[in-house]
Each structure stands twice: as structure tokens, then as C-alpha cells.
Chain A
């Protein structure tokens, strides 16, 4: 019984990292209705760029590295917007999909070339903090990640529902033509939202790097898949959904691993996704549909 509880708590805690990357994914897919396959790669790329801070100042505190990742993430987000969404007409979603795939490959290659493919140790905060209750342990640094996820959620909700940019974003996502007629500058809104999700992605990448302890180009694909799964289970466009789904996927994943071993684990995660698709296609928190 203790094994089970421990497995669940280990999994749920690690799910905080999925929640963090899921928030960005759900924003991009759900609010902006854009398929951005390069999102996880850009987030990891931002994390790598954060390491450049250490090149300049060898004893920089982790917070500074995270800040570097934050900024780099925003820059990468803007670049993805420019190369994949600015010039390609909205009526070609396939072209934007393929374009983001190209960016994913490009970002991955750049990372490999600069680091020669070698894993890079990532600075962490509280990574040696373990909260103990007898035999039961909880990772302190993952609690920090969860905290950051909640703060991000609050910040994003504020942005979306209390600022003009948020209003414009929601307008553009619901009715792009009408939004234009109201004088909203489509390109500017899109570019800004990409930058905002990019900033978020940079933080997510940095914290994931810190939780895992090492950054490697190997992280990109599994993170993309997890992010997509979390987005679907949580509900496209629902930020609290992404957090809950992230924790859920993390917990289930670990339980599957406990009972069925590591080679079958991911198979069951896929089955979990299919169960949701069949019985609750809108996700846990089905987003309110726009007037359509």
C-alpha cells in the first residue's frame, strides 16, 4: 500500500513538469488554434540558451539561468511565429503544421551542433530538499515546479481575462474577421501571444532541466508527446485543465510503471488517452466554446 501511495505521489509530483509544459501547449492549441509542434523544442532550446548565462558568469545563481531561459524562450517563440505563422496564409493549416515540424528539426539540430550532442548539467534550486514523513518522501524541487505552474496559471488567467491583450487574443481566436473589423491588429496580437507562450515555455524548459538534472536533445520528442497528451486530456484551451491533466498523467504513468513495468508503461498512457478521447473528448475541463 505504501508502495502504491509513494508511486502515486512520485508520479504526481513529476507531473508538475508536464503541467508546466502543458499550460503553454494548451494556450497555443486551444486559445490560438494553432498547431505548433515546435513548442517543446523551443522550450528546451530556451533552457539551453539559459546556460549561456553560466558561460558569461560561471558562478551565476540558478535564478539567473532561469531568467536567461525565460528571455530566450520569448525570443524563440517570436522566431517560430515569424517563420511559421506570419507569412503562411491562415487557410493553409497543413503548411503551418509542416513548417513547425521543420522548426522543431532545426532547433534540435542547432542544439546538437552547439553542444555536440552531450548532456549538459543544469543548475537546480532545492534539488536536494526532500520532505520526509517516516518512509514517505516528497521531492522539494518538484513542489517548487508545481508552485511555479500555479503562479503561471494565475498570471495567464490575469493576462487573458483582465488585460486588453488578453481580450484581443480571445477575440482573434473566436472570430478573426470580426476582430479585424474592430480594429485589432491580427499580426501584432498573434506575435505577442507567441512571445508570451514562448516566455512561459522558456521557464518550463528551465524547470524541467532543473528537475531532470541534465539537458539533452533526447528530451524534445517525449516532451512534445506528453504535452500533446496533457493538452487533450485537460481540454483544449483550459489552463487549469492542463495542470490537473499534467498531474494526472504523471501519477498514472508511475502507477502503470509500478504494476506493468517500464516497457509497457507508455502503452497504457496511450490507452488512457484513448479512454478520454472516447468518453470525454472535450477533456476534463471542456473549454467554453466560442460563439460559432
Chain B
């Protein structure tokens, strides 16, 4: 008997160790960089030489003094507002699309599935390039010239579109799985009892698929927050532009002179403000971690990012 117990123990130990390795690797990756938030002596000396302007004192504090800097809060505000808008648009477009793909046999369905799956594994820079080529050349460019504003390098249409591409694709996958899990029979029963299609959807299918739909919304929001390359290519940064360049509406929402947070991390690293960059990065990690935890707790099964 003890031989069998030992074998089982070894089996458990081996498999736990693999999972444990991944856990420790990930934890180490994030926790060991906490000390990057503290300013070192070498960094102060470097900043003496290189810094422009009088933000040196602020930057020499913990985390680059991020809580005092309005840029930090405005960037966070900008990112959260834009991702919420993106998630809203993705849901409004994605839930009907997922319902159509799940229930109705559209010709060329396999092409659609392959298309959306490959978007998820495609490099972000390719998506950024596709967006720039699509909007800045050809007939769409002439349309933009006629309307008088541009999609690229702008906050409102630009950033929303850039984060919408992948957020929609991922949300679609989750919503399709949610609708697939609801037996169509229930709808047929409802319809045979006299309700219209919309009513059947609203009162029967939607509540049954609610868990999956909520999981899809959280997934779409998380993916929109993690977008980097498409926003970088399509919109660039807005930090140093004069305030007069932004519209009153943007200034009202406190979104002028701010950047998307992932792009801000990259920009601050390029400037050499490593502590500030890591502060921004940790904020992103916290937000991402919380939404992943929520996804696990509500029991979302089988969704991959």
C-alpha cells in the first residue's frame, strides 16, 4: 500500500512543481521589480545631467512622484474612459454578431472563425499598420479630408478604434461560446408559445447566457486596457502638445495632454524616468490582476486571452 501512496505523492509533487514554477516565475517577475520604484543614487546623478526643466525634484521621489503629477491621473482617466467606451461599443456590436454567428448558418462561416482567431494571435504592430494604411490612404483618406477631421493621431475616434479591433474579437469569442451553451430549444419553445424573436431573446436566451456575457464584457475591457501597439502606431503620444490643441470637450473631461497608460510606460522609459515608468506599469498590473481574479472567481471556464 505504501508503495502506491508514495507513487501518488511523487506524481502530485512533480505536477505541483511545474505549476509552482510558473507561479514563482510570475510572482518573482512582478514583485522583484518593486525596488525599481525607489530612486537610487546613480539615478539622481544621472538626472542632474540630463533633466530638462524643473521637474527634477519631483522625479527624485518614490515612484517619480507620480501621485503629484497631473499627467498620471489624466492618463489613467483617459485610458479608463476610452476603454469603457470601447467596451460599450464592442458589446453593442458584438452581442448581436455573436448571436448571429452562433444561431444562423451564414455562408463562409469558417472564414469568419479563422479571421477572428488569427486576429488574436497576430502581432500588434501588424494591426497598427493595417489601421494606418486603411485610414490614411485611399478612399477613406479622401472621406476624412472632406469631413475635415482625421482618424489617426486623434483621441476620440482614433484611440477608440485602435482598442476596439482586438477587444471586439476577444469579446466575440466569449459571447459566441455563451450563446452556444444555451440550447436553442428554449427559444423555439418560447416562440411556439407566441413571443416574437426579440422577446424570446430578451427573456429566455439572454438571462441564460448572462454569466458568459458578463465574462465577455470583462474580457473585452481587459484586452482593451492591455492594448499597446495599435494605439502607438495609430495615435502616438499627446503629452507635450500645447493645451490649445485639444478641444474644449476633451479638456472638460480632463483628458488633454495625457497618454494611453501602456504607451506612457514606454514613453517614460524612453525618457529615462524609470521609476515613473514602473509606477505606471504597476498600476496596469494591479488593474489587470484584479480583473483576472474576478474572472476566475465568477467561474469563467476556458476563456483564453
Q: Do A and B bind each other?
A: no
